[in-house]
Amino acid sequence: MARKVAVVAGGHSKFGKRYDATMRELCAEAYKPIYDEGISQDKIDASVLSYAASQFTGQGAGSALIADYIGLHDKPHLRVESACTTGTASLRAAWGMVSAGLYDVMLVLGVEQMNRVSSATATEYMSQAGDMRWEYPFGISFPAFYALMASRYMSEYGMEHDILAKIAVKSHHYGAQNPKAHLPKEVSFEEANNAIPICRPLNLYDCSLITDGAAAVVIAAEERVKEFTDQPMWITGIGAGASSMMIQDRSTLTSIPGAKRAAQAAYKMAGVESKDIDMAQVHDCFTIAELIAYEDLGFAEPGKGPELVENKENYHDGRIPVNVDGGLKSKGHPLGATGVSMTYEVLKQMKGEAENPTRQIDDVKHGLVHNVGQSGQFVNVFIYERGW
């Protein structure tokens, strides 16, 4: 019989171009608030390191390095890798171990240090998550995958780029209120709509950032939760989905089939529907990805995501607040840390602890995390429920 599992604490480093810190120091920065809350190393049974691409630092065996640096060298650890979903894949692995009774308390730590190399090299490393024989050599890097989706969405539904610019304006509006964000600045609609092209129709403000940073959460089995908090965030739904390796094999480009399957599985397991969700952290690696997520998660009908954007239903006081921490767009996207950072934000919002009241969502009972790897090969959707 599976045990109930809750997120009981979280920590977060500053995201950005962190030339001041090594990978191990970023991890320590994310673990420190957890330690300060009283969850010292002796209370943690095992850890999972979410670290997507060792090419950036050249560091192999990352979980051994990090466990050693933060004082968990004598506890079991492992590393998980699944492109941009590495954070939630790590959490899924840890949840499985705690739920099955292998451990009671686990630390999930996500990190990536992407700025020790140029943007061109970073683009190449990220592209290695695609098919290195049949995609990358033909110029299909990440911006290109999502530009294909944006072009198709525009042609099928007649959408103009201004909708994507409005998503970027929203993300930067909230990122500007998040002290942990990589690029905490407001942008105007004109700036976002007319920025330099990166891969048409996507421009600079349609792209997420190349970021260094770390985030951490601690999960615990039901029997142990009270030792750590009286505000547990229960993990009630986990759905995983997959789509074809190559984008050309998809039957649609205006939806990510694996995301729909992941969402349906997560809703079913949690016993809720999309209308019950009070906030969502979605994988906006590009603005078009956020738009498609609204539809894949059931917040809007196919082709109707633009209406949700026009009506500002995605703002903190709207029907379904999305990425009010700035998202991957403004808070940043350090690959291995991203899914863990999304989870941290749901915990923060549930506890009413957003740094700024202008980005605090009122009364969050159910939160959702949607984390996509590559162009949709892997997708994890988590549903969380407030436990107090």
Ligand X SMILES: CC(C)(COP(=O)(O)OP(=O)(O)OC[C@H]1O[C@@H](n2cnc3c(N)ncnc32)[C@H](O)[C@@H]1OP(=O)(O)O)[C@@H](O)C(=O)NCCC(=O)NCCS
3-state SS assignment for residue 226: helix
**What length does the chain have?**
388
Active site residue 333: yes
- Among residues 26, 84, 320, 383, the one that binds ligand X under rule CB under 6 A: 84
Which ranges in the chain belong to alpha helices (H)?
Answer: 23-36, 62-69, 86-100, 119-127, 142-157, 162-175, 189-194, 257-270, 287-296, 305-310, 327-330, 335-350
Closest Cα to residue 357, out of 171, 178, 168, 215?
178
Helix (H) or strand (E) holding 371: strand 366-373
Dihedral, 294, 299, 305, 308 alpha carbons, nearest 10: -120
- Given 97, 108, 149, 183, the residue binding ligand X (CB under 6 A): 183
Catalytic position from the list 27, 84, 199, 285: 84
Site string (101-140) toward ligand X, x via CB under 6 A: ------------------x---x--x--------------
Closer residue to ligand X in complex, CB, 138/388: 138
- To ligand X, the closest distance from the beta carbon of 305 in angstroms equals 19
The one catalytic residue among 182, 333, 366, 370 = 333
With residue 6 as reference, give the H or E element that holds it.
strand 5-12
Residue closest to 232 by CA, chosen among 346, 69, 382: 346
SS3 category, 91: helix
From the CB of 208, what's the least distance to ligand X, in Å?
5
Query: Is position 22 an interface residue for ligand X (rule: CB under 6 A)?
Result: no
Token reading at 226: 């009270």
Of 7, 28, 109, 198, which lies in the binding site for ligand X, with binding defined by CB under 6 A?
198
Round to the nearest angstrom and report the end-to-end CA distance of the chain: 24
Active site residue 84: yes
Residue closer to ligand X by CB (options 198, 324) is 198
Pick the binder of ligand X from 210, 218, 308, 354 (CB under 6 A).
Answer: 210
Instruction: Give the nearest distance from C-beta 83 to ligand X in angstroms.
Output: 8
Number of residues binding to ligand X, judged by CB under 6 A? 16
Pairing of strands 378-386, 197-199: unpaired
Contact letters for ligand X, residues 285-324 (x by CB under 6 A): x---------------------------------------
Task: Find the part of the chain contacting ligand X (CB under 6 A) among 70-78, 203-211, 223-231, 310-318.
Answer: 203-211
Site for ligand X, rule CB under 6 A: 84, 119, 123, 126, 142-143, 183, 198, 204-205, 207-210, 285, 333
Residues acting as catalytic residues: 84, 333
